[in-house]
Structure formats: C-alpha cells, structure tokens
C-alpha cells in the first residue's frame, strides 16, 4: 500500500506543472507515469517552441521536460514505467513494469493528466505493420533513435503532420507526399513552407484509400475527394512507401476519468 496526499496520474507538462506547485506548498505528492522518463509529449519534441519567453519559447521540447523535472522538490515522489489500472471508490490499483508487481494506492486527491491518444482513420489494410501514428513515429525517432522506414506517406497536414514530416526528412527518410482531406493546410504556414521548400508535395482534397502489402506496408493508394469529402472514383494514385504515418488528430484519454465517476 502506497499512501499520498495528492496523486498525479501522468507526468507530462500538465502533471509536472501541478506537481511543482503542489510541492512548493508542502503537499506530499506522487507522480505515476507510464513512460521511461517524465515529460510526456515534450520528450518527443526536438523543435524549438513558439510563444512567449516566459513559457519556454525558443526551447526544445525535451529540454523543457528537463527544466520542469528539475523544479520538483523533496515533497514529490515519482514512479515511472507504472500504469494506473483502476480507480475505485475506496482504492486505486497500479502495475509497476520494472518490478512486475501490482500494488494499491490511497490518495486524498487525484489529478488525472493522462493527455490524449491518436485518432486513427479507417482504410483498407490499416492493420499492416508500417502503419503508425505520428506520435509513435516521433517516439521511435526522437527518443529511441530508430527510423521507422525510408519512404513515408504522411496523412494529415496539421502542425503534427508537418513537423513530423520535417523530422523524418532530417532523419534521412523520404516523405513522398502529405495528403490532406480538407481544402487547406491545417498547420502553421511557416511549417508548410519549410516542407514545400524541401520538395514535399502537400495534396489537398485527398485522403488515403488503402495500404498495399501482405505482411507489411509496401505502398499506399490515395484518392481525391469532393466537397463533401467523398472519394472520387478514377482519381486514385499509388505511392511506393514502407511507412504510412497518420496525423489526423487526438482523442482525450478519458478511461480513468470515466471509471472514477
């Protein structure tokens, strides 16, 4: 049994910020996080952030994670590589991967700061190895120095899709195209211009139709869509790729919150 005044589930920027403030006020705080290191999405971000200097503008994401973690004081305890498996009326259960053990937590207050998971879209053969979410690609490249493939089709032109495309290019991959179902680029123009200067086409009013391959991704078929986002037959195009990267938004991870209500 682990007892704490304040349990924070998730050690990303929100969880870390809360722990810093709680620690300053002398609150006994425990951060539980599934990752190898605290920082959440920040650990994947190798680019410099925009905004105000007071909010870490011109600082790379993984460096922000280190800065936030360094501000935790002796009132804050950390359990990494640990998953909260249940929030019940009288107890919280957790699993520690490092020790391969299940344990219980008693907490007076709980903050759920688990972020979001990637939203996938349906298309033929989307189960094949080689279909990744953009966050998974960032984790492989920026945290573990693993290039997921050499030829990539990016689906989605929001900031995540544009930034990950640029990072893939920096890592030595070739981004064959970025497809966007809307009639405009979703991300900042500064990111889109940088991608275009490197020769990557951004195909608006297009989406992915299917992945090609038997045991892994060997290609992708895209298709143009009409004003109602319905596929237009006869407009299919095929790309030889070994990675299809999906950057089509996020879904809040509400499972623990739903369990707690």
Q: How far apart are CA 155 and CA 139, in angstroms?
A: 18
Fold of 118-250: FAD/NAD(P)-binding domain (3.50.50)
Q: How far apart are CA 121 and CA 141, in angstroms?
A: 23
Mean pLDDT of 184-210: 97
For tokens 């605290």, what's the residue?
A: 38
pLDDT at 218: 98
For tokens 């966050």, what's the residue?
A: 135
pLDDT at 49: 80
What backbone torsions phi and psi does residue 223 show, to the nearest 5 degrees? -145, 145
Q: Residue 2 pLDDT > 80, yes or no?
A: yes
Mean pLDDT of 169-181: 97
Mean pLDDT of 236-247: 98
pTM higher than 0.85, yes or no? yes
Domain with CATH 3.50.50.60 in the chain: 2-114, 118-250
Question: What band does 170 get if pLDDT is binned at 50, 70 and 90?
Answer: very high
**What sign does the CA torsion over 67, 18, 251, 120 have?**
positive
CATH class of 2-114: alpha beta
CA 119 to chain centre: 10
For tokens 């994670």, what's the residue?
A: 65
pLDDT at 55: 79
Question: What band does 13 get if pLDDT is binned at 50, 70 and 90?
Answer: very high
pLDDT at 46: 83
Q: Residue 12 pLDDT > 90, yes or no?
A: yes
pLDDT at 73: 98
What are 67's two structure tokens?
């800065």
pLDDT > 90 fraction of the chain, expressed in percent and rounded: 91
pLDDT > 70 fraction of the chain, expressed in percent and rounded: 100
Residue among 256, 255, 261, 258 at smallest CA distance from 105: 256
67-106: pLDDT as tens digits: 999 999 999 999 999 999 999 989 999 999 999 999 999 9
Q: Residue 52 pLDDT > 80, yes or no?
A: no
19-48: pLDDT as tens digits: 999 999 999 999 999 999 999 999 988 878
pLDDT at 47: 79
What backbone torsions phi and psi does residue 126 show, to the nearest 5 degrees? -75, 0
The span from the first CA to the last CA of the chain, in angstroms, equals 23
Burial class for 189, CB neighbours closer than 10 Å (0-12, 13-18, 19+): exposed
Decide: 91 and 104 in contact? Cβ < 8 Å: yes
Q: How far apart are CA 159 and CA 154, in angstroms?
A: 12
pLDDT at 123: 98
pLDDT averaged over every residue in the chain: 95
């Amino acid at each position: 049994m682990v007892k704490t005044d304040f349990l924070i589930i998730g050690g990303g920027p929100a969880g870390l910020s809360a722990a810093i403030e709680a620690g300053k006020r002398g609150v006994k705080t425990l951060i539980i996080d599934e990752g190898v290191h605290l920082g959440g999405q920040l650990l994947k971000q190798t680019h410099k952030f925009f905004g105000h200097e007071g909010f870490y503008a011109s600082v790379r994401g993984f460096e922000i994670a280190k800065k936030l973690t360094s501000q935790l004081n002796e009132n804050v305890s950390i359990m990494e590589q640990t998953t909260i498996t249940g929030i019940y009326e009288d107890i919280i259960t957790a699993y520690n991967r490092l020790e391969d053990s299940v344990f219980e937590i008693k907490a007076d207050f709980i903050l759920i700061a688990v972020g979001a998971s990637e939203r996938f879209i349906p298309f033929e053969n989307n189960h094949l190895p080689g279909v990744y979410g953009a966050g998974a690609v960032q984790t492989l490249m920026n945290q573990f120095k693993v290039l997921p493939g050499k030829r990539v089709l990016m689906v989605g032109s929001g900031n995540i899709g544009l930034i990950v495309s640029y990072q893939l290019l920096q890592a030595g991959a070739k981004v064959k195209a970025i497809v966007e179902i809307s009639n405009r680029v979703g991300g900042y123009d500064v990111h889109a211009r940088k991608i275009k200067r490197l020769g990557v086409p951004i195909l608006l009013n297009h989406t992915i139709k299917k992945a090609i391959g038997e045991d892994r991704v060997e290609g992708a078929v895209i298709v143009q869509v009409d004003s109602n986002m319905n596929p237009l037959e006869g407009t299919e195009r095929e790309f030889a790729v070994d990675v299809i990267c999906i950057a089509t938004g996020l879904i809040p991870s509400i499972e623990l919150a739903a369990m707690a209500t």
